[in-house]
Amino acid sequence: MPLYAAYASNMDPTQMRQRAPHSPMASTGWLCGWRITFAGDDLGWEGSLATVTEDRDDPDAQVFVVIYDVPDEDEANLDRWEGTELGVHRKIRARVDTADGPQLVWLYVVDGYEGGLPSARYIGVISDAAEVAGAPSDYIQRLRLHEARNVGPGPDEPMDNQG
């Protein structure tokens, strides 16, 4: 079965069971020499979407990932969720370091420019998913502290419940 590496909200096994019910969690690992970043602006989640990119300037850069065994039927479901047919994400292959050695995996990256800010809500979802998946606390803390845009009314503005 092909191995898929999740680095954002799909790190949460409960979410993955909904999107890819035949895809068990296989392990966790690190995408070494890469960094998590955000790309596109307003593609979803009220801001930029998580993606990964190689980081040739920082030899210590790494991204925590959860690896799932994904059969063809679930891969097609994930492709729809990730918007590959719409050109939002594209799939790439990379090597992930795991406790059992390097694994060749596929993952989704945003097919857009790097930049923009994710929403605070999205940062919270990714951080929570990393925590549930067992990421180290310092990694989770760095995620939680990532710059984000606040979405919704300010503290002195009433909620608009008309829509």
Q: Give me the chain's average pLDDT, please.
A: 87
Q: Inform me whether the pLDDT recorded for 41 exceeds 70.
A: no
3 class by beta-carbon count within 10 Å (0-12 exposed, 13-18 middle, 19+ buried): buried
Residues 6+ apart with CB under 8 A from 94: 5, 31, 34, 104, 105, 106, 107
Q: What is the pTM of this model?
A: 0.87
Q: Using one digit for the tens of pLDDT, what is the confidence trace for 73-99? A: 999 999 988 887 776 788 999 999 999
Confidence of residue 67 (pLDDT cuts 50, 70, 90): very high
The pLDDT of residue 68: 97
Q: Inform me whether the pLDDT recorded for 46 exceeds 80.
A: no
Mean pLDDT of 24-45: 86
The Cα 101–Cα 50 span in angstroms is 26
Q: Could you tell me the domains of the chain?
A: 3-144 (3.10.490.10)
